[in-house]
Structures are given as C-alpha cells and as structure tokens.
Amino acid sequence: MHQLAYTAPVLLVLAAAEGIYLWLQRSDRFDWRDYFASLGDVIGRAVVTRVLGLGIAGSVLAFVFAHRVATVPMHMWWAWPLLVVLHDLCYYAMHRADHRVAWFWASHAAHHSTNGFHLSAAYRLGWTSRITSNAVFFAPLAWLGFPVPAILLVTAANLLYQFWLHTELIGKLGWLEWVLNTPSHHRVHHASNAPYLDRNYGGVFIVWDRLFGSFAAEQAGEPCRYGLTEPLLSHNPFRIATHGWWLLWRKVRGARGTWARVMAAIGPP
C-alpha cells in the first residue's frame, strides 16, 4: 500500500542490518540472494502498481461506505481501538482465504516462497494482490461506517506491525504469546512442516486463531522448515511473483469440465 512507501527505506535498512548481523555471527545463516530477491519483489510491485494501476478494493470500499448503515465518529476515544480489533478480525478472514482459496493463494504464495525466515520476507508480497482484490474482506468495516481513509491507515499499520514478526532472532515473549501475534507464532505460520501447515493467520492478535481452531504453538522438538511445500529455489523476482499463477493455470487447465475448473480456482490450493 502507498501508505507504507515512506517506511520502505527504513525497512530495507533494518533487513540488511539483520543480514549483516547474521553474516558476522555465522555466514551460512543468511542468504543475500534471498534479500535481493525480496528487494526485486518490492521494486517490481511498485512498477506494476504505477504502470497498470490495478485494483478495485478502494472503489469497492468507497461504494460500500456510501451505503453504510451508520457513521462511526472517529473522534470518540473508542473508535480507533474498535477499528483496530475489528480490522484484525477481517484480516484474519482474508489471510485464511489467502491460504485456503486457490485464487488468492496464487498471489499470496510469493510471500511464502522464501526458504529462509528473515525480515526481508516481510515485504516480499508479490505483484498481483490488487488483481485478486482480497482487500474486499474489509468491506464490512466500511458498511458499519468506518471511513475508508481510516481503514486504509489501519491496514498499513497492521502490515507494518508484522514486519518485526519475520525473524528468528526473537524468542518467545511470555504472556504476550496468548494475545499478540509474535515472531514465534509467525515462524509457525511460515513453516511447511505438517504440524504447522496453514496455522496462525492473525495479523496483530493471535486470539482469532485460538478461537477458530487454527492456532499452533512453536515446539522445540519440531524446528520450522520454511518455504512452500514444494520449495521454489529461484531468486528471480518475476519467477517468484508468477509461480503461484502458473501452478493455478496448470491446475485449472487439467480439470475436466466447467464446474471442475471453477472448483480448481476457488477450492483449496
């Protein structure tokens, strides 16, 4: 999102600092090709967004807000905390769909394509999320009367919060693990081990996963194995951005009959 553009240089520097630290500690713990692949993803996403201007989420949110059932007074003390909590619930639904609906996964797979787990993975988001338009999961917030700029601002803040979750340098954080999404919980989310697969979808809070049965804790006896279940070894940003779509196309093309093709696109990946 464009709200994150101003923070991008800081995030890139912090990710590089983590890489330098790991490289100095033990050189085989950090793959600089992975760092630059994520940097290429950022640049490619900016170019695609600027050139094509893809996306309907903003228009959809504006349309829904025009037909809202109420208007939330954002100057009230409770309005912003309520928006943060409800927004994270919507984010949970969107993120779960990203993993359980093939159409959304085709774009989201880019984020999980790194076979390591470092801060640079946080901004490897692929180039095509505006095509899938999964941001329409936030439409209920506009319908309830939260202004669209406020929704977009909280979305940016939610994504910015998740930056620090993408690291192995921070261990478990005690009682905070019960409420917040933490690096430990997010390591599980990025793991492709069977016990960890498709778990911990929350953005800021982990309570949604605990409530809806998608939570898994990081176990000392089960180290996280990162990346896709079928690892993508390429560091080419174009390959990373299009890999999921290529797999989806093969799946849909191989299905027999119209209904089978539809289910191949909207069923589990």
pLDDT digits (tens, 9 = 90+) for 35-57: 999 999 999 988 887 766 556 67
Query: Mean pLDDT by 10-residue block, N- to C-terminus, for the chain (269 residues)?
Result: 68 94 79 94 85 69 95 97 98 97 96 95 91 88 96 94 96 97 98 96 98 97 95 95 96 92 92
| Predicted local distance difference test score (pLDDT) of residue 8 | 83
| Predicted local distance difference test score (pLDDT) of residue 209 | 98
d(CA 162, CA 190): 13
d(CA 210, CA 185): 12
Residue 221 backbone phi and psi in degrees, to 5: -85, 0
Domain residue limits at 184: 2-266
DSSP per-residue string spanning 177-246: GGTB--HHHHHHHHB-STTTTT----SSBSHHHHHHT------TTS---BS-SS------HHHHHHHHHH
Say how many domains are in the chain.
1
**pLDDT tens-digit profile of 125-135?**
999 887 888 88
| Predicted local distance difference test score (pLDDT) of residue 28 | 64
| Predicted local distance difference test score (pLDDT) of residue 35 | 95
Residue in the structure block whose two tokens are 């069923």 = 267
pTM of the model: 0.93
